[in-house]
Structure 1
């Protein structure tokens, strides 16, 4: 087997997604703990301990205790190279998460055992289904009073529209939580709450052996045997092929905060999760083991280091091997570029890398050359697809609150929009700038970052709009007539495309009826 192929088979690149507060960032930390990447896990919410979570490093995240940007982290474990993307769970930042899902080969969904499946998780699951991404589920917080595990499994099947197969099973829950039986590896893991250490596990091939009583008592032993029998009877055997097609989801139970059940998840994950997979470009399908380097930019992050005003473009490597100081072709700008300091990440700590392989995610310093969705190759003209912007649902005018700082404001808006934080529309009628977002919180984040990173003050002014849609048509006269009639509601986006800002659902549906030759799009990919 070639060196390249060996490296690629070692790679596992996945995202962790969930509803806010289900324990996603805590799980990420515990995985890093196993990889020896961090030595002590930070309590995310506690103010007593000054260590904050490794993957939340933006100032605003530390203040609020939530993740607002996807972090990328890599570590080695059992001779595998694991790349985790921790995504924001808060729905106002869903757009960032949708884009991240284009850069991963599989997904772990975290579900809170008390709350079950929540709205946001459903939406993200739809994106996984669209892309046929394999999914594993971790049911968290078993050490708190939660719902019956069988009920949870039914809910997962119903809400996420996917078959499930438990690979570990909890022994009681809440105050009397005793541990889990690992069905996948046939061993018993007994629970001692400890945030830093890992619990010992006992090999237990034969669950009918009377030794079981010695570990967990008569009542629980009887219940566990009954449950396992029921599981074997009701749920299909785990077929790895069906998992890889995204049709069945293995389920693990545990408590991320107490580092319990996490190792089982990780061990099974590196065994069955896919290594990097082929990716569709517009021209052809690109296979990871091809020798020539290709990759695309799925995220741009400004000011990762507050002392240097720099942007970093995150590149997902789709094929071949990336080497430092080599010339690569930037397809959109049609020019060669060389990168002297590509970096790999451990949350905010980054180190320069000399080479990286398909499946890896690297950061390239960006001085304004990149946009989300750009393709880099060793020379071939390729365009990767599938990085949509969705139609925003909230709109405000952005105005300069300090006339002396107009330049800084302009630069800040440009960089934050390139980063994909929100979308900018310029009204063609009065030239005013409108910011469109998916949620209210993004306006606060933009205002905060403009002030703290660019020294610019903005103020928001209300505007009542229902939806922004991109329009196109082959019928030139009809398009011109529409633009003339709706002049007050016409805008252009950052790429200069026509956008119609409908102020109500009624107006939009009338426009769609009256102008049958015009296509109204609700995502920017058409």
Structure 2
């Protein structure tokens, strides 16, 4: 490492699913001589792209975990993170953008700005990451890069400006015209490695001149010198580039490049632009919070001489222990240093420091401020800050969305159970959006995540990486039982065996209440039940609530009043009255018309207005009750109450209804009675389960 901070670029490549992020990274690595052969994402050769190192990624042709690498281009060091596109792996994009200085937003020239492009753009806004756009797949039929630029302006509100125009489109894509140098650029050789500059073809000259005027107009907003030069018709390349860079760094301008990664066209000019237009670590102001000074903000200097501040932004558990991806913001993190984990206050000695290239690593001596590297064998959590002893600063943590979908998983045998718990520990530590817990009511292990694909991938990884065979099922819904009318009971418990027997009589009534789960009241007069046995009666009734007689669901919303009873001088005991209470409960409960209640969720769906009807219909189909809807700009917000039992798999349904543009949140609202038809189904199902167990 040369440690010249001005020559370092930390960039992320992010976009909608299937826009070509991994293919673009593969070409960048090839042209920067990091790899010597190009492999395709869904290649026939079985090798797969360099950055998709996980078996599952190669099979499915998607990126699941973000991967880091580095390369050199014309004296600049570029650290790249290739991120997933699926909304299910949103945390991977989130944490990558948290530590990067700049980003390339890849867009498909046919699909344009798609739903995930919007999500990624919001994430870039959240962390104020300067970006430039690359319109990929210009070789596909229906390609129209200028339509994509207008979508960037309308849908994402970017001040998007073309830096190039394509020479030919679709199958005729030959190269691009560079609007800064006003030259035509062609990419020759088997893999487009030989760049040839020529004069602009006659038929494109007027369009190129017009687009260059637009570029100068947009850039002159950021430079008075350029504005004067434009009036005198004396614009130089350097003047133009420095004005564009100024606009890009403040996120007030988005330069747009175009080409086709798959056809090896337009990648080298993009790399030139990364080095000239995107920020180096020194251009970005990073802040930390001073814990000794009431969390006041401190601006970090990228100076390697200052005390060290670094952020652990991603963890991976490999066969050799935990690998912690780290970004140094200030100072120097070297092998053998002792640093402090601010969250735990513990001292940590740095053993091995490495630099990542997908899943391969190179040992290095230190990570200087502005660089991204990885540490081995350190115990920490994602989002922890490490500092030199003597200072107490912490980086702000990243935004972690709440999980929206759950599944119950059951291991097949004891060996699978041990491996499953190892896997769950590791996954929940690595991925903050993946949560796991054991349901108190059903005893099932429940996993929650960002979508069905998210959970499917983790279950598949359990099988492959941990040899843990698990079966999955929808989590059992937490149903309840209650009663609908008042009923009386009068129960005598008698048991006579040798010696003293058991005797107790309990009489009274049971009635429904709505406010509380269980109320016990004693109206005994004249000592019909001796005072010392009243608590035993209450305990006997309470013990019946865990499993109701109707369906073995917990019982709620009942009031029990006892007003009479009888005791025996010798045979009455606490145990006898507990048994009498149990018998009395069963007698009264059966007469009080028991019903099943189910959890009702408050569901809020946010969808573009054009899909409002479809979204409402999907809630109605799920026994939902629409409470209200309102329009907020282009988005429509629908509020509804829907039974939890009907909400499994809803995220997938909603995405397909709305082209992935809608999202929903769900929280518990209340319990309501289950409709008769569904109650009958539940009873039938429970009877079958019992039969199978027997």
TM-score, reference length from structure 1: 0.81
Structure index of larger Rg: 2
Q: Which structure 2 residues correspond to residues 47-196 of structure 1 after superposition, within 5 A?
A: 47=44, 49-192=45-188, 194-195=190-191
Cα distance in 2 for partners of 1:90, 1:408 equals: 28
Cα distance in 2 for partners of 1:242, 1:482 equals: 62
Query: Where does residue 498 of structure 1 map in the other structure?
Result: none
Query: Where does residue 403 of structure 2 map in the other structure?
Result: 392
Helix, strand or coil for the counterpart of 2:302?
Answer: coil
Aligned match of 1:279 in 286, 299, 304?
A: 286
Contact 2:355 2:364 in 1 (8 A): yes
Aligned match of 2:466 in 436, 451, 454?
A: 454
Deviation at 1:231?
5.4
Cα distance in 2 for partners of 1:137, 1:146 equals: 19
Query: Where does residue 208 of structure 1 map in the other structure?
Result: none
Cα distance in 2 for partners of 1:279, 1:400 equals: 46
Deviation at 1:222?
4.4
Unaligned runs of 5+ in 1: 205-211, 467-480, 490-500, 513-526
Query: Where does residue 438 of structure 1 map in the other structure?
Result: 450
Q: Which structure 2 residues correspond to residues 90-489 of structure 1 after superposition, within 5 A?
A: 90-192=86-188, 194-195=190-191, 197-202=193-198, 212=200, 216=201, 218-229=202-213, 238-276=243-281, 277-283=284-290, 284-285=297-298, 286-289=300-303, 291-303=306-318, 308-366=319-377, 369-379=379-389, 380-420=391-431, 422-430=434-442, 432-463=444-475
Cα distance in 2 for partners of 1:511, 1:434 equals: 21
Cα distance in 1 for partners of 2:126, 2:322 equals: 31
Cα distance in 1 for partners of 2:220, 2:113 equals: 22
Deviation at 1:428?
4.7
Helix, strand or coil for the counterpart of 1:199?
Answer: strand
Contact 2:325 2:374 in 1 (8 A): yes
Query: Where does residue 26 of structure 1 map in the other structure?
Result: 23
Cα distance in 2 for partners of 1:321, 1:502 equals: 54
Gap change, CA 1:114 and 1:309, over 3 Å in 2: same
Gap change, CA 1:185 and 1:292, over 3 Å in 2: farther
Deviation at 1:156?
0.9
* Superposed CA RMSD: 3.0
Unaligned runs of 5+ in 2: 222-242, 291-296, 479-514, 519-545, 547-552, 555-598, 604-640, 643-665, 671-694
Cα distance in 2 for partners of 1:246, 1:15 equals: 16
Gap change, CA 1:65 and 1:426, over 3 Å in 2: same
Helix, strand or coil for the counterpart of 1:138?
Answer: strand
Q: How many residues align?
A: 464
Contact 2:351 2:375 in 1 (8 A): no
String of CA shifts for 1:215-251, please: whole Å, max 9, x gaps: x3x4344444455456556786654333112221110
Cα distance in 2 for partners of 1:315, 1:509 equals: 35
Contact 1:171 1:224 in 2 (8 A): no
String of CA shifts for 1:157-182, please: whole Å, max 9, x gaps: 11222111211111231122232111
